[in-house]
């Protein structure tokens, strides 16, 4: 063998080594051993540069960006992606360029810049359409679906995620199928189909357990907990989120960790443990500030505002909600803004600013009907009902107007109850029973009012919502 033959053979061996290390990197990333994945990539990129192989160098940088995304280092992810994309464009590698566009979209999605995320995911999809990369096309479709979900465009989100799942099934991509199943489950969850959502999350979890995808399992556990939360099984939701939290902390996935902390805090607030609730949500907020998750920060601030509202600290709650609203507006988080407006309506009622509360309710109701938010529509109807009940109570002098206000209040309460019962959300249904029962008692219909309050009491007791149970018991004691 001459020197030239030997050098070619060595180069081939080194290229095989790069490929082997990259494959191992994918496995390490999948099972949460990210430090080892980074070590392998550092070695890979040295060999690629020594061989002057720009394609392998760009591949290494692209892998780096994905690992940085897994451990919530978004600045590093952005830098690696931009470097990789510059090389891919120089060597005219469309598949690599499309992958980088997806990664850029992911960074902007995570940090709440949805307009930029949509732009990059769409560019990625169009770039992949020019190649034979069907797997990449499926990933772009799924990513677009997720951003559209956050923007409240549910029908379009479902269309994209279902298309993504179909391609992944045809290609036999189990990892991708699980991601798409989770995405579809999230859409159904937002549309109020909780049992269906949980089925999709559970199917995703089975695949992830089969292939050993620990981070994916954590996300599925977290998604299942969200479904359980909607049907008021708060203790079980905490159990699933605690499983997810453990994996996220072990793998260094800070985005997922912050989501679980926030969700557990929300559950403890409903169960009446405000100290624990505040601790979990505040810890989540700290992480989200650290990783630059603006959308997540708006959710945390909204939840802190809600905790303060439940504790009767209305002025402080108002300040947190104002900050949450500012960020949610900046990132275009429509669903978060809906919930903030509902809470601001409750704050205004607590301060006897009934007209302002009605305005918030009308704002929410308009958008909720437009984009199909059933639970938010029901809560807006309840706010309106409380406004009209108060109006009826203060118009005793003019009997005709009083009757009209009470009729409106009763109609809206019944509409809200019907929606919540159909959605099978016990906690929210019980709150609607509570408000309707109170309203009937104020109107003088004590027996009927107590009937609804007793229904509310039974639900609050069964789901261990201590604060609301105490309120209901106190209300039942009135006029006895």
Summarize pLDDT for 185-198 with one digit per residue, the tens. 999 998 888 899 99
**Does pLDDT of 355 surpass 70?**
yes
Question: Cα separation of 370 and 236, whole Å?
Answer: 33
Report the alpha-carbon distance of residue 437 to residue 409 in Å, rounded. Answer: 12
Q: State both tokens at 370.
A: 């437009």
Same domain, 230 and 283: no
Three-state DSSP at 205 gives helix
pLDDT tier, 479 (very low <50, low <70, confident <90, very high otherwise): low
**Domain extent at residue 243:** 173-252
Contact indicator for 179, 142 with CB cutoff of 8 Å: yes
Are the beta carbons of 165 and 141 closer than 8 angstroms? no
Q: Which three-class secondary structure state does DSSP give residue 111?
A: coil
pLDDT-based confidence at residue 375 (cuts at 50, 70, 90): confident
Percent of the chain's residues with pLDDT above 70 = 94
Same domain, 347 and 259: yes
- Number of alpha carbons in the 13 Å side-chain half-sphere of residue 330: 15
* pLDDT, position 401: 60
Q: Do 274 and 336 reside in the same domain of the chain?
A: yes
* 190 and 154 Cβ atoms separated by less than 8 Å: yes
**Residue 111 predicted with pLDDT over 80:** no
- For residues 36-60, average pLDDT: 88
What is the per-residue pLDDT for 95? 87
Within 10 angstroms of residue 479's Cβ, the number of other Cβ atoms is 11
Distance CA 127, CA 139 (A): 13
Q: How do residues 115-131 score in pLDDT, each as one tens digit? A: 889 999 999 888 888 88
Q: Is the per-residue pLDDT at 480 higher than 70?
A: no
Domain boundary among 221, 252, 283: 252
351, 368, 394 — which closes off a domain? 351
Domain count across the chain: 3
Asked whether residue 186 falls in the same domain as residue 272, the answer is: no
Question: Which pLDDT score is estimated for 9?
Answer: 57
Residue 318 inside a domain? The answer is yes
Same domain as 246, residue 289: no
The CA distance from 167 to 132, in Å, is 13
Same domain, 199 and 258: no
- Burial (CB < 10 A; 0-12, 13-18, 19+), residue 446, is middle
Q: Which of 351, 372, 390 is the last residue of a domain?
A: 351
Distance CA 53, CA 92 (A): 14
What whole-number percentage of the chain has pLDDT above 90?
Answer: 57
Of 252, 224, 258, 217, nearest in space to 238 by CA? 224
User: Coil, strand or helix: which one is 480?
Assistant: coil
Report residue 5's pLDDT band, with 50, 70 and 90 as the boundaries: very low
What is the spatial distance between Cα 304 and Cα 262, in angstroms, rounded to a whole number?
10
How large is the average pLDDT for residues 360-386? 87
Check residue 310 and give its pLDDT.
93
Q: Residues with Cβ < 8 Å from 218, sequence gap 6 or more?
A: 243, 244, 245, 247, 248, 251, 253, 256
Q: Which residue has the higher pLDDT, 7 or 82?
A: 82
Closest CA to 408 of 421, 389, 395: 389
Instruction: Give the pLDDT of residue 213.
Output: 92
Same domain, 195 and 246: yes
Per-residue pLDDT for 31 more than 50? yes
d(CA 16, CA 163) in angstroms, rounded, equals 35
């Amino acid at each position: 063998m001459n020197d030239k033959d030997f050098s070619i053979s060595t180069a081939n061996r080194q290229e095989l080594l790069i490929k082997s290390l990259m494959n191992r990197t994918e496995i390490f990333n999948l099972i949460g051993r990210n430090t080892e994945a980074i070590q392998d990539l550092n070695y890979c990129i040295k060999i690629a540069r020594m061989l002057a192989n720009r394609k392998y160098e760009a591949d290494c940088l692209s892998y780096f960006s994905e690992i940085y995304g897994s451990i919530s280092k978004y600045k590093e992810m952005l830098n690696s992606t931009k470097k990789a994309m510059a090389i891919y464009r120089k060597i005219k590698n469309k598949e690599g360029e499309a992958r980088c566009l997806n990664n850029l979209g992911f960074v902007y999605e995570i940090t709440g810049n949805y307009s930029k995320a949509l732009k990059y995911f769409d560019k990625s999809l169009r770039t992949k359409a020019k190649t034979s990369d069907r797997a990449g096309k499926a990933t772009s479709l799924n990513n677009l679906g997720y951003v559209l979900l956050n923007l409240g465009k549910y029908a379009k989100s479902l269309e994209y995620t279902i298309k993504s799942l179909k391609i992944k099934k045809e290609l036999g991509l189990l990892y991708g199928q699980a991601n798409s199943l989770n995405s579809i489950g999230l859409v159904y969850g937002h549309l109020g189909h909780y049992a269906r959502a949980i089925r999709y999350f559970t199917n995703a979890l089975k695949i992830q357990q089969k292939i050993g995808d620990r981070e994916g399992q954590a996300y599925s556990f977290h998604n299942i907990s969200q479904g359980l939360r909607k049907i008021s099984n708060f203790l079980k939701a905490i159990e699933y989120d605690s499983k997810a939290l453990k994996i996220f902390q072990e793998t260094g996935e800070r985005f997922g960790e912050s989501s679980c902390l926030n969700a557990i805090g929300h559950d403890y607030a409903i169960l009446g443990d405000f100290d624990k609730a505040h601790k979990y949500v505040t810890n989540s907020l700290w992480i989200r500030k650290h990783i630059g998750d603006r959308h997540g920060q708006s959710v945390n601030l909204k939840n802190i505002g809600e905790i303060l509202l439940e504790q009767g600290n209305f002025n402080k709650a108002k300040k947190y909600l104002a900050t949450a609203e500012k960020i949610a507006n900046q990132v275009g988080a429509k669903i978060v803004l809906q919930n903030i407006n509902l809470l601001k309506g409750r704050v205004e009622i607590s301060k006897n600013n009934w007209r302002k509360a009605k305005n918030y309710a009308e704002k929410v109701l308009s958008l909720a009907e437009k984009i199909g938010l059933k639970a938010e529509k029901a809560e807006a109807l309840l706010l309106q009902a409380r406004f009209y009940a108060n109006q009826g109570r203060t118009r005793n002098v003019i009997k005709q107007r009083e009757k009209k206000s009470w009729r409106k209040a009763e109609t809206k309460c019944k509409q809200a109850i019907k929606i919540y019962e159909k959605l099978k959300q016990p906690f929210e249904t019980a709150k609607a029973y509570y408000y309707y029962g109170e309203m009937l008692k104020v109107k003088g219909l004590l027996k009927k009012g107590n009937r609804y309050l007793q229904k509310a009491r039974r639900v609050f007791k069964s789901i261990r919502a201590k604060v609301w149970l105490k309120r209901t018991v106190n209300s039942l004691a009135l006029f006895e």
